[in-house]
Amino acid sequence: MHGNVCEWCADEWHDNYDGAPTGESVWLDGNKERSLLRGVSWADFPVNCRCAVRNFYSRRDAHYNTSGFRVVWDGGITF
């Protein structure tokens, strides 16, 4: 789902993918002052509406109406 809000990622910001872990592990040895966001929000240009778009803001304790997170459930019982 694109265009709702930019999504916070668990990884810290890195300028490129050199040394990135393989698999699904979180990459935490980057810039702790910047938090990684993927995608775009309702306030961005439609041309940027794709998950490959990477952005950063100051820190996770900064609040914006254009960023958020996605709740993920990994399985189990469905109702």
Q: What is the pLDDT of residues 5-59, one digit of tens each?
A: 778 778 888 888 898 888 888 888 878 777 777 777 888 888 877 777 877 765 6
Question: Across-strand partners of 68?
Answer: 7
Residue whose pair of structure tokens reads 């872990």 in the numeric block:
21
For residue 36, the model assigns a pLDDT of: 78
For the chain, the domains span 1-15+30-71
Give the residue from 40, 71, 42, 70 showing the smallest Cα distance to 55. Answer: 40
For residue 15, the model assigns a pLDDT of: 85
